[in-house]
């Protein structure tokens, strides 16, 4: 096999450059393609398509209120905006991002450990069975704030990459680990946490919005695959509260 160059970077952001029998990243940096995917989805094509197809509405729309969301916002009437409602955007992904910002107007209390979030990029959970990568991207609905920093990232300013860990088709639920969080401020400065760079297998997990602490996430059939619903909100649970969000670069655009 041809000796290929590793495109990964070490913790000092110095290019690895090692050569060996791999495609893009060596064994030490094999998960950094997740960072590349995050950059590609979040800053370059921010919503032109999902991982497996053009982002399509779920077959069944659910108008579900979240008890935890209500607790965070203090508004018992808060609920996800239906996909059929008129939301600005050139495509379904952009509309989904805008839904998060609109719903976020109802939330004022920032958190460093739990965040209401909306799915905007999805993939097939069957990848978990076949040894592939079932990746999902979420955007924040509730404000995000680290413990040691004053800046508050409002709705839509933070995005997360989740990866399918378990998929139980007979039991009707899956489990999704959160691998990355990346936030952008009004000056386009980018901040984030990457589980792989910290030597962790995850930084948090996904749960249904009404069931904080429960890692079992239901799924739907979409054509010949199974995936997560888009017309409901989820809850992202950090394994430990975010003490700091290190700066990691500059975004091409404001979120």
pLDDT tens for 62-86 read 333 333 434 443 333 345 665 556 8
Contact 117, 92 (CB under 8 A): no
pLDDT tens for 212-224 read 889 999 999 998 8
Residue 178 has pLDDT above 80, yes or no: yes
Residue 60 has pLDDT above 50, yes or no: no
Q: What is the pTM of this model?
A: 0.72
- Distances in Å between the Cα of 233 and the Cα atoms of 18, 38, 109, 216 are 42, 21, 17, 14
Residue 250 has pLDDT above 90, yes or no: no
pLDDT tens for 82-125 read 555 688 877 888 899 999 999 999 999 999 999 999 999 888 99
Percent of the chain with pLDDT over 90: 51
The residue extents of the domains of the chain are 46-250
The three-state secondary structure class of 9 is strand
Contact 57, 230 (CB under 8 A): yes
Q: How far apart are CA 3 and CA 246, in angstroms?
A: 34
Phi, psi of 126 (to 5 degrees): -60, -25
pLDDT tens for 143-177 read 999 999 999 999 999 999 999 999 999 999 999 99
Q: Which helix (H) or strand (E) holds 247?
A: strand 247-250
Say what the alpha-carbon torsion angle 229, 234, 239, 243 is, to the nearest 10 degrees: 130
Contacts of 216 (CB under 8 A, 6+ apart): 173, 174, 175, 207, 208
pLDDT at 254: 73
How many C-beta atoms surround the C-beta of residue 44 within 10 A? Answer: 10
Six-digit token pair at 213?
A: 């602490």
């Amino acid at each position: 096999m041809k000796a290929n160059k590793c495109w990964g970077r070490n913790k000092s952001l110095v290019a690895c450059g090692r050569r060996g029998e791999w495609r893009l990243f060596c064994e030490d940096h094999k998960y950094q393609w997740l960072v590349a995917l995050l950059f590609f989805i979040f800053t370059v094509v921010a919503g032109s398509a999902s991982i497996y197809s053009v982002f399509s509405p779920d077959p069944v729309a659910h108008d579900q209120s979240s008890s935890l969301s209500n607790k965070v916002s203090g508004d018992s009437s808060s609920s996800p905006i239906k996909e059929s409602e008129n939301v600005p955007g050139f495509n379904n992904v952009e509309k989904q991002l805008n839904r998060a910002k609109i719903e976020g107007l109802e939330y004022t209390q920032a958190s460093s450990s739990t965040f209401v979030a909306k799915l905007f990029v999805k993939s097939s959970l069957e990848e978990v069975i076949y040894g592939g990568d079932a990746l999902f991207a979420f955007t924040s609905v509730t404000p995000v704030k680290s413990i040691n920093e004053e800046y508050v990232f409002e709705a839509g300013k933070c995005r997360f990459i989740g990866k399918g860990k378990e998929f139980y088709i007979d039991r009707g639920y899956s489990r999704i680990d959160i691998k990355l969080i990346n936030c952008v401020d009004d000056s386009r400065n980018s901040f984030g946490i990457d589980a792989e760079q910290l030597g962790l297998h995850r930084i948090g997990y996904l749960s249904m919005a009404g069931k904080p602490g429960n890692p079992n996430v239901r799924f739907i059939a979409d054509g010949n695959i199974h995936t997560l619903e888009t017309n409901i909100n989820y809850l992202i649970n950090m394994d430990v509260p975010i003490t700091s969000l290190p700066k990691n670069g500059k975004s091409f655009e404001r979120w």
